[in-house]
Amino acid sequence: MYQHTRLTTNRLGFFQKFRNFDYILLICILILGFISLATMYSTDGGEIRFHTKSHFTKLAVFTLMMLVMSFVNIKYWFSIGYLAYVAVIGLLVGTYLFGITSSGSQRWINLYFINLQPSELMKIFIIVCLAKFFHRMKIENVNSIYAILTSLIIILLPMGLVIVQPDLGTAVLIAISGIAVLWFAGINYKYFIYTILGFIISLPFVIAFLKPYQKLRVLTFLNPDKDPLGAGYQIIQSKIAVGSGGIFGKGFLKGTQSYLEFLPEKHTDFIFTLFSEEFGFVGSAILLVIYAIIIYRIVAIGASSRSYFAKIFCYSFGAAIFVFITINMSMVLGLLPIVGSPLPIMSYGGSSMLATMIGFGIVMSARVHNQQLIA
Amino acid sequence: MINSSSDNVKKLNSINRRMFITGSLKFFIMVGIVSRLFFLQVKENKKYLTLSDKNRIREWKLAPVRGEFHDYFGNIIAGNFEAYQLHVIPEQVEDFRYVIYRLKDLLELSDKEFKKVLKKKNEIKPWETLIVSDNLSWQKFSKINNHLYDLNGVKPVISISRNYPFKENFTHLIGYVSQANQDDIETTQAIKKNFVPGLKVGKAGLEKTFEEKLIGTNDIERYEVNAYGRRISQLEFQKGQKGKTLRLTIDTEVQKLANELLKDKAGSICVMDIYTGAVIAMHSSPSFDPNLFVFGISQDDWQLIRNDPMKPLVNKTLQGNYSPGSTIKPIVALSALENGIVNTNFRVKCTGKTEMYGQTYHCWKKKGHGYMSLRNAMKQSCDTYFYEVARRLGVDKLSETAKKFGLGKKVFGDLFNIEKKGLIPNTQWKKNALGKGWLLGETIITGIGQGYIQTTPIQLCLMTAQIANGGYKIYPHLVVDDKVKDQPIDKFTPLYKNSKNIKIIQDAIFGSTNEMMGTSYRSRIDNPIYQFAGKTGTAQVKKITEEERELDLKTFEIPYEQRDHALYVAFGPYKNPRYALSVIVEHGGNGSTTAAPMATKLFKLIIDRHKIRESLENKKYLEI
C-alpha cells in the first residue's frame, strides 16, 4: 500500500499535477495581480502608460513562470538549493563590482536582457538554501556550534554584500528570511531571546554608526512634524492620503493625494497608500484578507507536505512574505521608519516580483508534489 | 529507520509548535495593522480629509476693480480702461529664446526693458505668468495678434487699469494710483486685505483719502493644485465687488478753464458755492499727467516733474502758505467795525507814506490817496488807512475775526493729510512760538496782510464765501454726500456780531471792482447777470529796499523769484451771490493786472454753468 502510493506519487501525469494545484492560492495571486494592475493604472493617471504596461508584462511572464515551476518536482528545487544561493551570491558580488548606480546606491546588475536586483532574489534563495541545510540535520545537531555558525555565515554573507550597496532595508529583510528558517528549524529559543536583547541593547550604538540619511529616517519616524516639507514629508503625506480615504475611499482614479503628486514613490514602496486612499478602509481590509488567505494557503501547503524541506520552506516563506507585507504597511501607516521595502506583487519592480513568484512557484511545486519524500 | 522516524517526529513536533507560535503572532500583528488603518481612515478621517483639501486647494486673488470718480455731472474724471497686456507662461513656450527675441522686435523693446523682462522671468516659476508688457498701444497689441501663429505660449490679455481722461486737470485734487508698497500695505487695512502683486493704490489726493471706499474686493479663484503648485483645474470663481464710485462737487468745465488760465504759471484757483460749501473747482498749477504713474513713472519723467522750479508736486491750493496781502483787508475792516474801532465815517489822510513808532510805512500809491473813508480805502486798497485801522484794532482782535472766517485752520479737516493750516498771528502765538514779545510795527503790516500772517488759497476762498453769504459758517466739501447737503448753510452759526457790518464790507468790495478808481475796475463785468465783486492783493515775497522803491521797476524788470504774488478773491453775481473764488498767481506781479482778469473769465463760465447745475438738481428731484 505504502509502496503503491509512493510509486504513483512519483510518477504524476500532467493532468494529475494539474489537479493537484492549489486553486485558492492561484486565484488569490491572480486577484492580487489584477488589483496591482488596476492600482498601477491609477498611478499612471488613469491611462495605460509605461508603468502599467511594464507591470502587466512582468506579471504575465512571472505568473507563467510560476506555473511552469510548479510542474517541476520539489526534489529538483531541493537539489539546486546551494547552487542557487551561490549563484545569487555571485550576482551580488557582480553587482558590487559592475553594478548600476541609481539614486546613491548600487543595487542593479545589467544581465543584458534584464536589469536585475539580486538582493531581492536573495530574500527567497536564502530560504531555499537554509531549508536544504536543515533538511537532513538531526534535531540534536540543530543547536550545534557547527550548524549555528554555518547558518549565520549563510545569512551574514549576503547581508554584508547588500549593506555595502548600500541598502540596509533589503539586508534586514534578507536577515529576517534567514532567521525565519532558523526559527522553524528549531534553534533554541534562548538564542532568539539573546539576539533580541542584544539588538535592543546595541541599538543606540548601531544608530551612532548609521549613515546620516538613515539616522534622519529614524528621527523623522519619531517626530515627522519636525520637518514637514523635508524628511517628514513622505510619512506625513502618506498618512494624509490614507487617512483622507475614509471608509470607502475617494474612488478609483480619484485619489487627489496621488494624482496631484503629493505622494512620493507611489509606484513602488507607497503603492498601498494610493490603494488605500482610493478604496478606503474597506478596500484595504479586503486586500489584507487576500494576503492573509495567500499566507494561510502557503502555511497549509507546508503542513500537508510530506518532506521536511517543503514544510520548512513553506513555513519560512509564509513568515517572510508576512513580514514583508507588515513592514511595508507599517511604514506607510507611520508605524515604522521608512525603509525601502516593496509590497509583494503590488509594488512596481521586476526583481521583487520575480523573487516572490519564484517563492510561489516552489510552494506550488510542493503542493503538486506533496507526497514526494526527499531522501 | 525507527531512529530516523523518531527523529522525524521530534523535528515535526518542533516545527509545528513553532508554526503555532508564529501563526498567533501573525494574527496579532494583522489585528494591529487593521486597527491602525481603522484609526487613520475612520476615526481620524475628518482631520486627514481637511489636510488633504488644504494640500490640493489653493486660492488666487485677482486685483479688485477700483471705484471711479465722477464730477458733479457724471463725467468720469478717474475711470478704468482696458489695458492691453502681453503675458507669457514660460513653461508653455517651446522655444523661449526665440519667442522672447521675436517679441523684442515686435514690441520694439529697448535693451533696458528687455533685460528687465528677462530678470523677471528668472524670478518666477516656469508655470507662473510673466508679464512682458503691461500697457500696450492698440497698434502693437494688434500687431502681436497678427503674429500669434508663431508665438506659441504668448497670451494677449485685456486687464482693467486706472485712467485719468482729463490728464493734468485733476491731478492735485484726485491724486493718482501706483503700485502698492510695503508702507501702504502696513498702514491701510483695506490694502492689506485685498493685496495682490501689482495692485495699484492711491498715492495722493482723494485717491489716497478714500482708498478704503474705492478699492473694492478681490475676485477669488479657487484652484486644485498639484504638489508643485501647478494649477490643475478651477473649482470656483467668486466675483469681487467693484469699489465705490464717488461723485464730486467739481464742475469739469470750470476746472478745465482754471487749468487753462494758469497755464505756464504757478498758482492756484479755487471756486466754491457760498451756500453749500461745494467746491466747484480747485486747481493747482503747474500740474502733471497722473497717467504717468499708473504703470510706474519713468526716471526721466520723474526728474522732469521733481526738478521743475514751479514745483508741480506741491498742491498750492492746500499746501501753499501765502501772505494774503490786500485780500485780508475785508477782514481787517470787518474786525474793526465789529469791535467798534471805526465806523463808515472814519477817515485817514494818506500821503503815500506814514511814520509810526519810528518807522516809515509806505502806501502802494506813492502820491498818496488823500482823505480815505472805509469804503474808499477798500476800493482803492489804501495801505495807509489800514495801517491806522490795524494800529487801533490790535492784532489779537484781528486774529479772532480772521479765525472765525476760517483762516489759520484746515479747511477740509482730515480729508487731505497734506493740507496746511496757514498762520494767523497774535501776541500769545509769538510769545509761545518765537519767545519774543509782539511789536506794534508787526500789527501794522499784518493790517495789509504782510508779516507773519499766512493763508492758503482755499482758506481765502472760504473766507470770501463766508463774507459773501452774509456771514454764515459753511462746510466746504468735495464729495457729493447727503449728510453734508442736508445742512448747506449753518444759519445758527453767524460769524458776525452785526449783520450790517457784513453788508458794509460786501458793498466796499463791490466798489473795488465796479466803480472808477477801484483796483479791479478794468476786470469788471457790467452785465448784472455776471457782475461780481472782488478784492485784489499783491503779496511781497521780500522786503522792498529804499533803492528799489526809488527805481519803481515794472514787474517784468524784476527777476522771477522776487516778483510779487498776485492774488484775487471775489464773489458773484453781486445781486444774488452764489459763488466765491480765490486766484493766486505766484510771482505774477500785481493782483489787479494778473489775477483779477482771470476772475472775469471764470465768472462768465461759472454763472453760465450754474443754470445747468441747477437744472440737473431739479431734474433729479423730478425723477424721484
A205/A196 Cα distance (integer angstroms):
15
Burial of residue B317, with CB atoms counted within 10 A of its CB: 0-12 exposed, 13-18 middle, 19 or more buried: buried
Phi, psi of B399 (to 5 degrees): -65, -35
B369/B346 Cα distance (integer angstroms):
15
CB contact under 8 A, A262 and B227: yes
Cα–Cα separations (whole angstroms), residue B527 to B509, B600, B601: 17, 12, 13
pLDDT tens for each residue of A237-264: 899 999 999 999 999 988 888 888 888 7
Which SS3 state, helix, strand or coil, does residue A369 take? coil
Instruction: For residue B157, list its beta bridge partners.
Output: B85
Looking at chain A, which residue has its C-alpha nearest residue B17? A184
Residues of B in Cβ contact (< 8 Å) with A133: none
* Angle, CA of B441, B326 and B399, to the nearest 5°: 55
B388/B350 Cα distance (integer angstroms):
10
Cα–Cα separations (whole angstroms), residue A54 to A32, A191, B103: 16, 44, 44
Q: Which three cell numbers mark A114?
A: 534584464
**Residue B354 CA to chain centroid, in angstroms?**
45
Alpha helices in B58-147 (DSSP H): 96-107, 111-123, 138-146
List, in order, residues 6 or more apart from B298 with CB less than 8 Å away. B292
Please, are residues B450 and B539 in contact by the beta-carbon 8 Å criterion? yes
Please, are residues B76 and B69 in contact by the beta-carbon 8 Å criterion? yes
Look at residue A153 and tell me whether its pLDDT is greater than 50: yes
CB contact under 8 A, B18 and A184: yes
Determine the pLDDT at residue B323: 93
Q: Which three cell numbers mark B58?
A: 489653493
Longest C-alpha distance within chain B, in Å?
160
A239/A251 Cα distance (integer angstroms):
17
Interface test with B, best of A134, A176, A240, A313 (most B CBs within 10 A): A240
| Helix A168-185, helix B2-38: angle, nearest 10 | 140
* Angle, CA of A223, A225 and A231, to the nearest 5°: 80
The CATH architecture one would assign to domain B252-301+312-623 is: 3-Layer(aba) Sandwich (3.40)
Burial of residue B289, with CB atoms counted within 10 A of its CB: 0-12 exposed, 13-18 middle, 19 or more buried: middle
Residues of A in Cβ contact (< 8 Å) with B45: 243-247
A197 Cα to chain B: minimum distance (Å): 19
| Among A240, A292, A299, beta carbon nearest to B52 | A240
B287/B283 Cα distance (integer angstroms):
8
B228 Cα to chain A: minimum distance (Å): 8
For residue A158, cis peptide bond before it (omega within 30 degrees of 0):
no
Cβ atoms within 10 Å of B480's Cβ, excluding its own: 16
The residue assigned the cell 488759497 is B457
Nearest to B389 by CA among B403, B406, B402, B372: B372
Question: What is the spatial order of strands in the sheet that B219-225 belongs to?
Answer: B57-62, B219-225, B231-238
pLDDT tens for each residue of A181-193: 999 998 989 999 9
Nearest to B397 by CA among B335, B445, B444: B335
Looking at chain B, which residue has its C-alpha nearest residue A272? B37
What is the ipTM for the molecules in this complex?
0.91
pTM: predicted TM-score of the whole model, two decimal places: 0.68
Q: In angstroms, what is the C-alpha Rg of chain B?
A: 37
pLDDT tens for each residue of A188-215: 899 999 989 998 888 888 777 777 777 7
Nearest to B104 by CA among B91, B114, B92, B112: B114
Residue B390 half-sphere exposure, CB side, CA atoms within 13 Å?
Answer: 31
pLDDT tens for each residue of B423-434: 999 999 999 998
Q: Which pLDDT band holds residue A9 (cuts at 50, 70, 90)?
A: very low
Task: Return mean pLDDT, chain A.
Answer: 88
Per cent of chain A over pLDDT 90 is 61
Determine the pLDDT at residue A265: 81
Q: Which pLDDT band holds residue A10 (cuts at 50, 70, 90)?
A: low
B25 Cα to chain A: minimum distance (Å): 10
Interface residues from chain B to A (CB-CB < 8 Å):
7-8, 10-12, 14-16, 18-19, 22-23, 26, 29-30, 32-34, 36-38, 40-42, 44-45, 47-49, 51-52, 55-56, 224-228, 232
Q: Which pLDDT band holds residue A355 (cuts at 50, 70, 90)?
A: very high
**Residue B60 CA to chain centroid, in angstroms?**
31
Burial of residue B602, with CB atoms counted within 10 A of its CB: 0-12 exposed, 13-18 middle, 19 or more buried: buried
Please, are residues B248 and B257 in contact by the beta-carbon 8 Å criterion? no
Determine the pLDDT at residue B624: 42
Q: Which three cell numbers mark B233?
A: 483645474
Determine the pLDDT at residue B7: 77
For residue A264, cis peptide bond before it (omega within 30 degrees of 0):
no
Please, are residues B595 and B583 in contact by the beta-carbon 8 Å criterion? yes
B366/A138 Cα distance (integer angstroms):
143
Q: Does A47 touch chain B (CB under 8 A)?
A: no
- Let me know how long chain A is: 375
Nearest to B402 by CA among B460, B469, B340, B318: B460
Determine the pLDDT at residue B619: 61
Residues of A in Cβ contact (< 8 Å) with B26: 295, 319, 322
Burial of residue B56, with CB atoms counted within 10 A of its CB: 0-12 exposed, 13-18 middle, 19 or more buried: buried
Interface test with B, best of A184, A234, A244 (most B CBs within 10 A): A244
Determine the pLDDT at residue B2: 44
What does the DSSP assignment read for A259-313?
HTT-SSSTTTTTHHHHHHHHHHHHHHHHHHHHHHHHHHHHHHHHHH-SSHHHHHH
Please, are residues B591 and B326 in contact by the beta-carbon 8 Å criterion? yes
Residue B7 half-sphere exposure, CB side, CA atoms within 13 Å?
Answer: 15
Q: Which helix (H) or strand (E) holds B370?
A: strand B370-372
What does the DSSP assignment read for B324-340?
-GGGGHHHHHHHHHHTT
A93 Cα to chain B: minimum distance (Å): 33
Task: Return mean pLDDT, chain B.
Answer: 88
CB contact under 8 A, A243 and B55: no
B161/B192 Cα distance (integer angstroms):
19
Determine the pLDDT at residue A33: 96
B51/B42 Cα distance (integer angstroms):
15
| Among A256, A276, A288, beta carbon nearest to B52 | A256
pLDDT tens for each residue of B389-421: 999 999 999 999 999 999 999 998 888 889 999
B41/A335 Cα distance (integer angstroms):
15
Nearest to B213 by CA among B595, B479, B557, B438: B479
B544/B556 Cα distance (integer angstroms):
16
Looking at chain B, which residue has its C-alpha nearest residue A315? B19
B370/B349 Cα distance (integer angstroms):
5
Determine the pLDDT at residue A230: 66
Q: Which three cell numbers mark B171?
A: 491731478
| Among A183, A243, A259, beta carbon nearest to B18 | A183
Determine the pLDDT at residue B317: 94
| Among B26, B48, B227, beta carbon nearest to A244 | B48
Interchain CB contacts (distance < 8 Å): A and B? 122
| Among B11, B29, B48, beta carbon nearest to A308 | B11
| Among B10, B38, B49, beta carbon nearest to A281 | B38
What parts of chain B have a pLDDT lower than 70? 1-4, 482-492, 618-624
A142 Cα to chain B: minimum distance (Å): 10
Extents of the domains making up chain B: 60-247, 252-301+312-623
CB contact under 8 A, B55 and A295: no
pLDDT tens for each residue of B124-148: 777 777 888 878 888 888 888 888 8
* Angle, CA of A142, A299 and A267, to the nearest 5°: 110
| Among A139, A239, A303, beta carbon nearest to B48 | A239
B26 Cα to chain A: minimum distance (Å): 7
* Angle, CA of A25, A29 and A32, to the nearest 5°: 140
Q: Does A67 touch chain B (CB under 8 A)?
A: no
Which SS3 state, helix, strand or coil, does residue B62 take? strand
CATH 3.90.1310.10 given to domain B60-247:
yes
CB contact under 8 A, A292 and B30: yes
Q: Does A246 touch chain B (CB under 8 A)?
A: yes
Nearest to B464 by CA among B269, B272, B283: B272
Residues of B in Cβ contact (< 8 Å) with A330: 33, 36
Nearest to B38 by CA among A360, A356, A280, A303: A280
A44/A39 Cα distance (integer angstroms):
9
Residues of B in Cβ contact (< 8 Å) with A280: 41
Residues of A in Cβ contact (< 8 Å) with B222: none
The residue assigned the cell 536589469 is A115
Please, are residues B78 and B107 in contact by the beta-carbon 8 Å criterion? no
A281 Cα to chain B: minimum distance (Å): 6
CB contact under 8 A, A295 and B22: no
Interface of A with B in 318-347 (CB under 8 A): 319, 322, 326, 329-330, 333, 335
The residue assigned the cell 536573495 is A122
pLDDT tens for each residue of A36-93: 999 999 998 888 889 999 999 999 999 999 999 999 999 999 999 999 999 999 999 9
The DSSP code for A224 is G
Phi, psi of A242 (to 5 degrees): -65, -50
Q: Which three cell numbers mark B462?
A: 472760504
B256/B288 Cα distance (integer angstroms):
14
Determine the pLDDT at residue A180: 94
Q: In angstroms, what is the C-alpha Rg of chain A?
A: 21
CB contact under 8 A, B225 and A241: no
List, in order, residues 6 or more apart from A260 with CB less than 8 Å away. B55, B56, B224, B225, B226, B227, B232
Nearest to B100 by CA among B127, B125, B132: B132
